[in-house]
Structure 1
Amino acid sequence: MLNKKPLFFALFFSLALFSSTSLKAQFTVNSDSAFKAGSPNSGKLWGYMFGDYYDKGNADSLNRGGGNQYTGVPKDRNAFQIRRLYLGYNYNISKKFAAEVLLEAAPGDALLDNKLAFYIKLANLRVKDLWKGTDLVIGQVGTPGFSMSSEPIWGYRSIEKTIIDRLGTPSYDLGASLQGTFDSKTKNFGYDVMVGNGTGARPEVDNRKWLSGDIWAKFLDKKLYVNFYLDYNGSNPIAGMNQSRNMIKGFVAYTVPKFTFGVEAFTNTLKNGDQATEIATGKTDFLTVQAKGISIFAHGIILKDKLNFFARYDAFNPDNKINNSFYNKYVQPTSGYSDPSTKEQFITAGLDYTPIKNVHFMPNIWADTYKNQGFNPKYTGIDLVYRLTCYFVFGK
């Protein structure tokens, strides 16, 4: 269990340091004519929406997609759908402080009658330059996992989440984060660290915290981006066995004006995370396993400002200790992965037509293939979807 006292004193020390160096200047900021808190430029309302017309070309008969958006949708089903609606507001309180609120509506968070409803995704206060080049952000904050690195470089969240986002790593959490650069002039090297509840928008349920952080660098005149990420989260014991997950992830991307290529790979160590049932005795063994995944993507320009392409391939193995001669059942109750017996391969590809800035029409295919590696017969199935995706942005 994470000791709460070091976290408290670390936060207290950070705030005390800020107070001793910057607070006096902050209280006099209202006299600075360069910034007026009530000016029209101090706040901005923005948002975006994406959705599709889809046709389900094939459905996995065992519904093994877990939390993916098409699990359980029957073959030949077609529909119009909204997959995400954002409504955000950013406000500069002063030169030193800024506030952010973001509301989201999505099918996975619908009301009991399946109507879309907004919930609070982000709500935080940013203290700029707590020390030179580093901001402190407190409240409901974007995590370091992908939202500030691989997701914007992949660039097609309207098509699909990044691989660790698809598999349950939170994109936001309630806590405190330091976001900074080591070189404030060129901003070629930086870091993000965060401590949070690990529960996203939901209330905390135990005393354990999710620790996460990354370091990143840009090389070759900012064409090459490299990111290294770590996280750790403990959970309540099951049958007296301590549980935890610890992810290590690397991301590399190369971008030139006409083309971007990226690779993201991770290993997630699940301590006592697999409950495997022995064939001979029926006894349950707790195994520490590693879940591994890799994502490879590319996107580029066909016609400048009008037509782009994108393509991506993911592979995921939730359990590296499958032993069908010894075990006949595998369960991962705390990992967030749907089934340790099922490997997945995900593919998407399509075109991005932009008639005007911030409006996109994107015909694409979406396919998730499942292969059983467990004790049952090695049955392969696929969820295959044909889509026309519409994505638009306003206020930016």
Structure 2
Amino acid sequence: MKKTFTKVFSAVLVSATMLAGLTAEAQQTTLASANTDKKADAKADSTITTTTTVKPAAKQDPAAWVPTRRLWGYAFGDLYFNQHTDGANRGPETQYNGTPGNRNAFQFRRLYLGYDYDINQKFSAEVLLASEPNANTGVNGTTNIQNGDNLVDGKMAFWIKNFNIRVREIWKGTDLVVGEMSTPGFALNTGNSNAPTSLSEATWGYRFIEKTITDFHKNNSYDVGAALQGTFDPSTKNFGYVFMVGNNSQSNLLAASNPSTGFYKIFYGDLWGKFLDKKLYVDIYADYVQTGAGTATLGETAHNMEKIFVAYNTKPLTVGAEVYTQMFKNGVTSAAHGTQNANALGLSFWAKGNINAQWGWFGRYDNYNPYTNFDSAVPTYTANTTYGNYSPLYKEQFVTAGLDFQPAPKIHFSPNIWLVQFKDQRAATTTGHVPDGHDLVYRATFYYTFGK
């Protein structure tokens, strides 16, 4: 059934793209004909005597289409001081995992370089290069970190994060996007389109401080595939949807190390709405992917997420809440219970506001439980999922708070604290139990944007 659906969906996308291309070609032909007629009219007008009254030129439509040719980018990083490190080195998904205590350094955490290009009124292209390097966590710099975006010699590297083509208005209020693109999990980067602008990352507004909770725990932020991004009310754009099919590979090539890629597709769905004069945002999201066909000892593996995000926006204060549950089918195995489904639960609450024209503030609290039906008496669980850095053993609480100084538009300097606390779900008397621990980092963060 899944294979049949994928084939049908692919055929529809190809047909829609061809139809859009023919429409664009027809529009261009009409425009060329109109231009030829204008030149002929101008030549005829040159023979008119001075006594002839010439009609004034029509005013240009203020809503006339203007093509986008935009080179843009942004960067953020910190001067950080790692005041305390978890003794058990937990939290492999965090930025400071393994960083020695009392380490301090200047560090870029993200550099973006993008280019947006309108081919014509129907088609546009997006290119985005990214570098998101990890800190060198070797003691005294003697060990180089070569994962993430660090080269063998320790230099930062750019890689392709987005590269796609957009077909605008394949029907009124809906765009088709094909290629590598942002998913509707929490962020979409494209403006001047039918994509939503009210997802959790854009509303939180402090990605330069930290990812949203679903991004923090490795939900796909981008993928290679095809998507429909649409609005139910094109004139006001208060309600809309995104439906996407992807490889579940992000920017990686298909590889045997990830058994899902090339065999199973991930399905993303999102419904969003703006209420109360666009002060209240509501976003409902779900995804599903099969990751393995199963063996004699392990059944089929899969994971799916359901999430709701709500935010209320006022001029002095914005508050938001994000809640999600994620099921890993046959996700864990233990000697006591065999193979079981694992259910993760994440909660995030945040608030932000303005002190004056240049100063703002923010605060956030996350609570994450990777395995809600954990048996505290079981000492060892084996994770069966390919989901990045998943461990059923440790609960996490995350806190960040700080100030935001904007001396000019699109420039931020932000003193802040960053704290993750880890708690072992096993009973204290259970073999292998690890005492509570935490990572605490003090940071002076900078962030600037150019070109958009």
Aligned partner letter, 1:309: W
In structure 2, C-alpha distance between the alignment counterparts of 1:177 and 1:25, rounded to whole Å: 20
- 1:256 Cα offset (Å): 1.0
- 1:338 aligned residue: 390
- 1:367 Cα offset (Å): 0.2
In structure 2, C-alpha distance between the alignment counterparts of 1:139 and 1:16, rounded to whole Å: 16
- 2:104 aligned residue: 78
- Shift in alpha-carbon separation, 1:311–1:206, aligned structure 2, 3 A: same
Moved more, 110-119 or 194-203: 110-119
RMSD value, Cα: 1.9
- 1:320 Cα offset (Å): 1.4
- Shift in alpha-carbon separation, 1:128–1:328, aligned structure 2, 3 A: same
Question: Aligned match of 1:274 in 326, 329, 332?
Answer: 332
Please tell me whether the aligned partners of residues 292 and 316 of structure 1 are also in contact (alpha carbons under 8 angstroms). Answer: yes
Aligned partner letter, 2:318: T
Counterpart secondary structure, 1:354: strand
- 1:308 aligned residue: 360
In structure 2, C-alpha distance between the alignment counterparts of 1:309 and 1:219, rounded to whole Å: 25
Q: Does 1:225 align with 2:265?
A: no
- 1:4 aligned residue: 3
Moved more, 75-84 or 269-278: 269-278
In structure 2, C-alpha distance between the alignment counterparts of 1:40 and 1:49, rounded to whole Å: 28
Counterpart secondary structure, 2:215: helix
Please tell me whether the aligned partners of residues 277 and 328 of structure 1 are also in contact (alpha carbons under 8 angstroms). Answer: no
Aligned partner letter, 1:243: T
Please tell me whether the aligned partners of residues 298 and 339 of structure 2 are also in contact (alpha carbons under 8 angstroms). Answer: no
- Per-residue CA deviation, residues 61-95 of structure 1 (Å, 9 max, x unaligned), is 00111121101011100000000000000000010
Counterpart secondary structure, 1:70: coil
- 2:408 aligned residue: 356
Please tell me whether the aligned partners of residues 301 and 330 of structure 2 are also in contact (alpha carbons under 8 angstroms). Answer: yes
In structure 1, C-alpha distance between the alignment counterparts of 2:445 and 2:413, rounded to whole Å: 6
- 2:138 aligned residue: none
In structure 2, C-alpha distance between the alignment counterparts of 1:244 and 1:132, rounded to whole Å: 35
Aligned partner letter, 1:271: K
Q: Does 1:143 align with 2:183?
A: yes
In structure 1, C-alpha distance between the alignment counterparts of 2:241 and 2:372, rounded to whole Å: 31
In structure 1, C-alpha distance between the alignment counterparts of 2:267 and 2:447, rounded to whole Å: 33
In structure 2, C-alpha distance between the alignment counterparts of 1:127 and 1:224, rounded to whole Å: 29
- 1:322 aligned residue: 374
- 1:258 Cα offset (Å): 1.8
Counterpart secondary structure, 1:74: coil
In structure 1, C-alpha distance between the alignment counterparts of 2:316 and 2:383, rounded to whole Å: 43
Which of the two has higher C-alpha Rg? 2
Question: Aligned match of 1:286 in 339, 344, 357?
Answer: 339
- 1:25 aligned residue: 23
* Matching of residues 43-82 of structure 1 within 5 Å: 43-82=69-108
In structure 2, C-alpha distance between the alignment counterparts of 1:388 and 1:23, rounded to whole Å: 49
- 2:164 aligned residue: 124
Please tell me whether the aligned partners of residues 186 and 201 of structure 2 are also in contact (alpha carbons under 8 angstroms). Answer: yes
- 1:281 aligned residue: none
Higher relative contact order structure (alpha carbons within 8 Å, sequence separation ≥ 6): 1
Counterpart secondary structure, 2:264: coil
In structure 2, C-alpha distance between the alignment counterparts of 1:56 and 1:17, rounded to whole Å: 52
Counterpart secondary structure, 1:355: strand
Counterpart secondary structure, 1:241: coil
- 1:17 Cα offset (Å): 4.5
Aligned partner letter, 2:401: A
In structure 2, C-alpha distance between the alignment counterparts of 1:41 and 1:184, rounded to whole Å: 20
- Per-residue CA deviation, residues 342-384 of structure 1 (Å, 9 max, x unaligned), is 0000000000100011110000000000000124335110000
Please tell me whether the aligned partners of residues 332 and 339 of structure 1 are also in contact (alpha carbons under 8 angstroms). Answer: yes
In structure 1, C-alpha distance between the alignment counterparts of 2:448 and 2:434, rounded to whole Å: 42
Aligned partner letter, 1:117: A
Q: Does 1:176 align with 2:175?
A: no
Please tell me whether the aligned partners of residues 228 and 251 of structure 1 are also in contact (alpha carbons under 8 angstroms). Answer: yes
In structure 2, C-alpha distance between the alignment counterparts of 1:161 and 1:98, rounded to whole Å: 28
Q: What residue ranges of structure 2 are gaps of 5+ in the alignment?
A: 36-59, 134-147, 189-198, 255-260
Number of aligned residue pairs = 384
- 1:186 Cα offset (Å): 1.1
Question: Aligned match of 2:318 in 255, 260, 268?
Answer: 260
Please tell me whether the aligned partners of residues 63 and 71 of structure 1 are also in contact (alpha carbons under 8 angstroms). Answer: yes
The alignment's TM-score, normalised by the length of structure 2, stands at 0.82
Please tell me whether the aligned partners of residues 29 and 94 of structure 1 are also in contact (alpha carbons under 8 angstroms). Answer: no
- 1:291 Cα offset (Å): 0.3
Moved more, 294-303 or 370-379: 370-379
Q: What residue ranges of structure 1 are gaps of 5+ in the alignment?
A: 279-283
- 2:41 aligned residue: none
- 1:299 aligned residue: 352
Aligned partner letter, 1:180: G
Counterpart secondary structure, 1:165: helix
- Per-residue CA deviation, residues 246-271 of structure 1 (Å, 9 max, x unaligned), is 11100000001221100000000111
The alignment's TM-score, normalised by the length of structure 1, stands at 0.93
- 1:294 Cα offset (Å): 0.4
Q: Which has the higher strand share?
A: 1
Counterpart secondary structure, 1:364: strand
- 1:230 Cα offset (Å): 0.5
In structure 1, C-alpha distance between the alignment counterparts of 2:407 and 2:382, rounded to whole Å: 48
- 1:322 Cα offset (Å): 1.5
In structure 2, C-alpha distance between the alignment counterparts of 1:18 and 1:125, rounded to whole Å: 10
In structure 2, C-alpha distance between the alignment counterparts of 1:174 and 1:18, rounded to whole Å: 17
In structure 2, C-alpha distance between the alignment counterparts of 1:348 and 1:43, rounded to whole Å: 37
- 1:41 Cα offset (Å): 4.7
In structure 2, C-alpha distance between the alignment counterparts of 1:183 and 1:322, rounded to whole Å: 45
- Shift in alpha-carbon separation, 1:83–1:180, aligned structure 2, 3 A: same
In structure 2, C-alpha distance between the alignment counterparts of 1:355 and 1:202, rounded to whole Å: 39
